[in-house]
Amino acid sequence: METKGRVDANIKIGRLICCVLCSLSRARLEYKLGGISIHGYLGIHKAGNLAEAQKLFDEIPRKDVISWTTMASGYAKAGEGSASNEATELFNQMLKSEIDIQPDKMTLASVMSACSQLGDLEYEFWIESHMTEFGIALDDHLGTTSIDLYAKCGSIEKGYELLRVA
């Protein structure tokens, strides 16, 4: 009960800070602080507030890779089927040509984590096949995320193969 009170108080403080900062120079600060503000809503004592974070995300006029990744990561960390689906949907939106945001390693790790929650090996294979196109090489972080996905989906041999290569 006491923790929930602190979470609610922190959310209120976060909203107040966002309001004050954004009122000073709304467009510029929303662009620069959007990812940070979203992260604040998602990360408060790991309780997360996806609805508030999504609302803030939707209000950011020019989203960058940080805001997209932060939102996708929040959904992936929620660990529920519908939230993990939201993470992959956000990734699909991000890749649309009119948005033109290039994913980075953290983006891919977040989406791969969502795939792990969903047990979606096909989407994982699609991500792996496009990593070169994105200019991203498999590193320890992405490799670990992939191995986790393979293990959860029952593809132990594929995970072991990746472990031997890494």
pLDDT tens by residue, 74-129: 888 887 668 889 999 999 999 987 888 899 999 999 999 999 989 899 998 899 88
Q: pLDDT, tens digit, for every residue of 125-152?
A: 899 888 888 899 988 889 999 999 999 9
pLDDT at 69 over 50: yes
Q: Which helix H or strand E contains 96, and what residues bound it?
A: none
How high is the pLDDT of residue 90?
92
Q: Mean pLDDT across the stretch 158-165?
A: 83
Residue reference for tokens 């990744």: 69
Chain-centroid distance of CA 21 in Å reads 24
User: Can you tell me the distance from the alpha carbon of 10 to that of 57, in angstroms, rounded to the nearest whole number?
Assistant: 19
How far apart, in whole angstroms, are the C-alpha atoms of residue 114 and residue 77? 8
pLDDT of the residue at 18 = 53
Q: What is the pLDDT of residues 6-62, one digit of tens each?
A: 555 555 555 555 544 444 444 344 444 445 555 554 553 344 578 877 888 888 888
